[in-house]
Every structure is written in structure tokens, then in C-alpha cells.
Amino acid sequence: MKKYAWLALIGFLGALLAACSGPQATVPRGYEPPPRVRSAAGIAPQSPPEVVVFAVSGRCGVPCDTAPDGNYDYLGPRGTAEAVAQAFRDLGKRTLTLTYSAHLFNHTSPISGRYEYGFLQLEADVRWVRQNWPGTRLVLLGHSHGTNWTHDLLRAHPDWRFAYLIDLDGICALWEGDNQPYFDRFYRTYGNPWGVDLSRSCDVEPIKKHWWWTSYYSAKDVAYPGAIYNLEVQSARLLAARVEIQGNTSLVFDYTDNVRLDASRTGIWTHVAKEDHSGITYPGSDALAWVTRQIRYLGLPY
């Protein structure tokens, strides 16, 4: 009987340990769409890309009554993502580019008329690359509202590492209002698998800059630990003097320099470009010239 008692005790302890292994071990991932990396890549499994650039476009504009359903991928067709990818090719790296719209879900945009990929697709694709191409470096590129999604991916997965986080004029205004109903629907169906409420992304990170002063930063202004290098471009100012206010940005330009959670700026470079909010996304712009120069100068961090 002692033998069976010991076996029962071991079984009980095993079940107890499994139950205590944390929420990520038990939350199903049935919410994720199938990864599209392999079909999009057209690359033989034995020669995967050395760098993958994941690019997320921004809002469909102001005014745009159909946002976020009207949001669409323009960083792909405009050549923005390829301009960044070319900088890595110039380093001699095989590079793949995947592009997304600023939306939680995959959807058909009434503006583009195309089937557009959203955040959940981005998450599924990054997960697939990490699992199947472990030596591949990952790069996140976002414009405007797209920077909220790229930074939220880092919030949701603090153990994921990206060689570069590239921000083109991150904007948080209107983002929560646009996306809250879709998060509500998602949470009702699947619960929250991330451990942080991504629907709240503006003014959410209390960062102590001095012992007497704490500022609340939007997620788009925080270079989370998973981002080794962070290149931030802000578009040209309408004001003559530099604005230092923290919090939500205006609809015109990003005026908040990115920081780390410890209030440092380690591995962060910020550039104020000559173009406006839209102009910074075009190949040949001062903004993209600066980004590509930085990549060529810094190289890959690992």
C-alpha cells in the first residue's frame, strides 16, 4: 500500500505543479489566425531569411468615419517597408517584409477594397517565425497608430526580442476610442490572454524621471525591454519651440521622445524630420534616409 500511496502523492504533486505553472500555460490560443509567413515568404525551409521586417500602417486619416475598419496597409504599397528592408539587404542579409493594417482583426477595408491583416495576424506571424526560424532577427516598423500596435506586441510578450523597433511619428489620440469596441468583443469571447489590457495604451506607463516626478507615458512612447534598438522619427513641428509635454500627442506630430521603463534612453535614437506626418513615410524622405543610415551604421545588435 505504501507504494501506491507514494504514486498517488507524486501524481497529486504533478497536477499541483501544472496548475501553478502560470496563465500562459493554460490559456488556449484558438483566437489566432493561421500564420501566413511560409506562404508569403516563398522561401525554402533550409534557407530562411536572416531578417524579417513586420510593418504596421496607421489610421485611415482625420476625418475618417470608418476607422478602424477603414484602416489599410499603405506602408507596403508605398514602398516604406521595402525601403527599410533594403537597409538590411545592404548589410548583406536576406530579408523578408510582411505588412499589416492598424486593426485588432483581419478585415476587408472599405477604403482599400482589400483584405487587410491586423494585430492578431502580426502576433501569429511573429510567433511562427520565432518558433521555426530561431536565428532570424525581427524588426518592427510602425507609422502613426501603427506604433501603438507594435509597442503593444512588446507589452504583451515581454520575453520576445526584436533587433529594431522603428517608429514613424507615433500617435495615440483616437486610438483607444477606435479600438475599444473590438477589444471588448475579443475579451468577451476569449478572455484576455496577454496579462495586460492592451485596449488601454495611452498614458498607461508611470515612469519616474526624478525622485519627485513621475510621468505617464503612452505605450507608443516606451521602448520596452524586448526592443534592443529603437529608432524614432518625429515629423516637422508646427510650433517654433520644442514641446516637452508628456502624454497623448497632437494629431500633427509626435512630440514625446521615447524612453525606457527605467527612464533612460539606452539604445534609443530620435530624429525630427523635415516632412509632415504623412510625408515621412515616403521613400526618399529625410525621415527614411535617417532611418536607413542609422541601420547601416549600427548594424544588427545580435
Across 82-86, average pLDDT: 98
In this prediction, residue 15 has a pLDDT band, given cuts at 50, 70 and 90, of: very low
Report the percentage of the chain scoring pLDDT > 70. Answer: 82
Residue 261: closest CA among 214, 232, 222: 222
pLDDT on residue 243: 41
More confident residue, 90 or 8: 90
Q: Cα separation of 236 and 175, whole Å?
A: 21
Model confidence pLDDT, tens digit, residues 265-285: 999 999 999 888 889 999 999
Model confidence pLDDT, tens digit, residues 31-68: 889 998 866 656 655 679 999 999 999 999 877 889 99
Across 195-206, average pLDDT: 96
Bridge partners (DSSP) of residue 54 are 98, 140
pLDDT on residue 62: 75
- Answer yes or no: is pLDDT of 18 > 80: no
- Answer yes or no: is pLDDT of 8 > 60: no
- Answer yes or no: is pLDDT of 257 > 90: yes
Phi, psi dihedral angles at 102 (to 5 degrees)? -85, 80
| Amino acid sitting at position 107 | H
Domains and CATH numbers, the chain: 47-298 (3.40.50)
pLDDT on residue 112: 96
Q: Are residues 99 and 150 in contact, defined by beta-carbon separation less than 8 angstroms? A: no
In this prediction, residue 113 has a pLDDT band, given cuts at 50, 70 and 90, of: very high
| Amino acid sitting at position 128 | W
pLDDT on residue 255: 81
Phi, psi dihedral angles at 289 (to 5 degrees)? -60, -40
Model confidence pLDDT, tens digit, residues 211-240: 678 899 999 999 999 999 999 999 987 653
Q: Cα separation of 212 and 257, whole Å?
A: 20
pLDDT on residue 209: 76
pLDDT on residue 236: 84
pLDDT on residue 17: 31
Q: Are residues 271 and 234 in contact, defined by beta-carbon separation less than 8 angstroms? A: yes
What residues have CB less than 8 Å from 189, skipping those under 6 apart? 31
Across 101-120, average pLDDT: 96
- Answer yes or no: is pLDDT of 3 > 70: no
- Answer yes or no: is pLDDT of 23 > 90: no
Does the predicted model carry a pTM greater than 0.95? no
What's the residue count for the chain? 302
